[in-house]
Chain A
Amino acid sequence: MRNTRDTKLLFELSEAGRRAHRLPACDVPERTAKELLPASSLAAAPPALPELSEPQVVRHFANLSQLNMSVDTHFYPLGSCTMKYNPKRNERAARMPGIADVHPYQPESTLQGMLQLLYEMQEYLQEISGLPACSLQPAAGAHGELTALWVAAAYFRDRSEKRTKVLVPDSAHGTNPASASMAGFQTVTVKTLASGAVDMDDFRRLLDDEIAVFMITNPNTVGVFEPNMKAIADAVHARGGLVYLDGANMNAILGIARPGDFGADMQHYNPHKTFSGPHGGGGPGAGPICVAEKLAPYLPTPVVVKVKSLEPRVKSQKDGSTASPALDSPLLTLDYDRPKSIGRVRAFFGNVGVLVRAYCYIRTHGPDGLKRVSENAVLNANYLLSKVKHFLPVPQGDRCMHEFVATAGKLKSEKGVSAMDIAKRLLDYGFHAPTVYFPLSVKESIMIEPTETESKEMLDAFAETLFRVIGEDAELLHEAPHSTAISRPDDVRAARQPMLTYSSKE
């Protein structure tokens, strides 16, 4: 049952003098803050904090958490986001004291286990991408894009090549042009066709010697593997440019196609999508990148490397600690001696906790398992496509990779029912909505990505519900959802007159 009492603002629940604790009497002489601190350090009035008991606070947050949808509670076919189920064993691994409690300032000799995990993670990511060098530092996918573009810029600077432009297809994630711009490049947009493929005429027209990087998402956002990938990569390389692979959709090609083999010189991973890292919440995240051999010297510093002995580093440590080298295994160290590196992009080794979860996921599946992940992600998407296309057209055709984009364009013009109406109504039936209105190249788009972790029964139930929703009365759909705590927030007012503070209603 929904509890509307305890989900009020904490300030509204507050009662003056209520406490969640009771302290023993003070056993030292009491002195006021005024006696101890200069006036300049004192606040004019105490901060306005809510006064509550512990169960009130727990109930407040526990009830709020139940107003939300998550992969742990609902089917979540949010296209482009790969909302697969995250195995709980990843969480257990990340919480093990030997992993959670190590500190990056410990002597390296005591960090060998963690360094081995990170070293192996570099190797796995290199193997999956077909690119021989890796940096685990970037803190998110978009940060990985930015880091890779800095690497590209350093590479061209080193070669005294002046290249100012980055090509990005119009169906790309918004982070691509944003990263290009932040890295100091000018973004040039390449058109895509209705099929989702790059418009080769437009591409050839725009390709020149000023192009530094072509950023491509493959498979792309409409779930199509770029048919001209090789031709695009060859043309970019012939002009001396680099190809960047936005790894957002790696879930479709693990162990099946390697970006390094189809022409990418660099790529990022989104571990929260592909390798079951935690989604959302504003982070922390990870966006490791892999690059071609010629770009390796420019990667962020440090990287984890194998050495024969830690001697030179141990000697310089003030506490006089010594390494206890295992005789039969090589030692691992952080390599800072990288004169061409772009430097650090993140403290220490990046967000290790996220990398541990991804490492656990990769190790659990192994090479064959990862391939099956992708096979099943693609199979599930195609199965759902084959059902949905009968009542919501799918412009790209009858086959897809890990996701597909249906359109409610006809429904909108004939019945006035929009993609948003359908999405909102699905919430009433206990399904998280698919992504709507992205990509913009498809009208009234509904982007569906079931992922590999859903059963056939769930896919059938979703398709049946979607069919049922489409047949419902338009008025009912316009006002959906009817069962959630908040129905339709005013998006326009929220964007134009945002209230960035909250307080109790007087």
Chain B
Amino acid sequence: MKPESLLFAKTHEWVAVAEEGGQKIATVGLSKFAVEALTDLVFIELPKVGRQVAVGESFCEVESVKAVSDVYAPVAGEVIAANDKLADKLELLSNDPYGEGWVARIKITDETGLKSLMDHAAYQKQCAEESH
């Protein structure tokens, strides 16, 4: 996926929303900026399929050589899939954060969270501010 087509949360998660059978499904991952800031990743604890998440709720953890960081749900809903491939191939997160490195898919139950997400340009601006 091209990052320009994605929405971003303040906390550095990206979201791609698609309609599937009348349901809005969000694919969620970590931005390239976030993955680079985390440095060398060693472990990911993926969310359980079936879990209900609220906007801003920590639903996944990534561990780097520096620290453990929370991944926050950018939308509210039910986790319908987690990217099991990451467990063994964590480098997918760094090599292809917007594609094969996706983290989870969430069936959106409440769309209010989508409104506070920003587009790529706004997110780029936030990153530029954070990195100096």
Contacts and interface: CB of A to CB of B under 8 A. Distances in A.
A491 interface: yes
B132 interface: yes
B33 interface: no
Contact of A495 (B65, B67, B130, B132): B65
Contacts of B42: 491-492, 495-496
A13 to B, nearest CB: 32
Nearest to A495: B42
Contacts of B131: 409, 413, 443
A467 interface: no
B40 interface: yes
Interface in A402-426: 409-410, 413
Nearest to B130: A443
B91 to A, nearest CB: 10
B65 A491 contact: yes
A11 interface: no
A496 B44 CA distance: 11
B125 interface: no
Nearest to A410: B132
Contacts of B67: 437-438, 440
Interface string A420-445: 00000000000000000110100100
B115 interface: no
A368 to B, nearest CB: 41
- Secondary structure at chain B's binding surface: helix, strand, loop or mixed? loop
Interface in A426-477: 437-438, 440, 443
A194 to B, nearest CB: 12
B66 interface: yes
Contacts of A495: 42-43, 63, 65
A409 B42 CA distance: 23
Contacts of A409: 131-132
Contact of B132 (A413, A491, A496): A413
A495 B66 CA distance: 11
A83 B132 CA distance: 31
B132 A492 contact: no
Interface in A268-285: none
Contacts of A443: 130-131
A437 B43 contact: no
Contacts of B65: 491-492, 495
Interface in B52-110: 63, 65-67, 90
Interface residues of B, number: 12
Interface in A304-328: none
Contacts of A437: 66-67
Contacts of A492: 40-42, 65
Interface in A47-68: none
A496 B43 contact: yes
A137 to B, nearest CB: 30
Nearest to A491: B65
Nearest to A420: B39
Contacts of B63: 495
A443 B132 CA distance: 9
B38 to A, nearest CB: 10
Contacts of A491: 40, 42, 65
B105 to A, nearest CB: 26
Interface in B1-48: 40-43
B69 to A, nearest CB: 8
A409 B131 CA distance: 7
A413 B132 CA distance: 7
A491 B67 CA distance: 12
Contacts of A440: 66-67
A444 to B, nearest CB: 10
A437 B68 CA distance: 12
Contacts of A413: 131-132
Interface string A322-356: 00000000000000000000000000000000000
A121 to B, nearest CB: 36
Contacts of B43: 495-496
Interface in B111-125: none
A434 to B, nearest CB: 15
A192 to B, nearest CB: 15
A437 B67 CA distance: 9
Nearest to B65: A491
A395 to B, nearest CB: 11
A52 B66 CA distance: 40
Nearest to A496: B42
Contacts of A496: 42-43, 90
Contacts of B90: 496
A437 B131 CA distance: 15
A495 B132 CA distance: 30
A437 B66 CA distance: 7
B3 to A, nearest CB: 20
Which of A409, A413, A496: most chain B CB closer than 10 A? A496
B26 to A, nearest CB: 25
Shortest 4 CB-CB distances between A and B: which pairs?
A495-B42, A491-B65, A492-B40, A437-B66
Interface of A: 409-410, 413, 437-438, 440, 443, 491-492, 495-496
17 contacts: A409-B132, A410-B132, A413-B131, A437-B67, A438-B67, A440-B66, A440-B67, A443-B130, A443-B131, A491-B40, A491-B65, A492-B40, A492-B42, A492-B65, A495-B43, A496-B43, A496-B90
Given A413-B131, A492-B41, A492-B65, 17 more contacts: A409-B131, A409-B132, A410-B132, A413-B132, A437-B66, A437-B67, A438-B67, A440-B66, A440-B67, A443-B130, A491-B42, A491-B65, A492-B40, A495-B42, A495-B65, A496-B42, A496-B90
Interface of B: 40-43, 63, 65-67, 90, 130-132
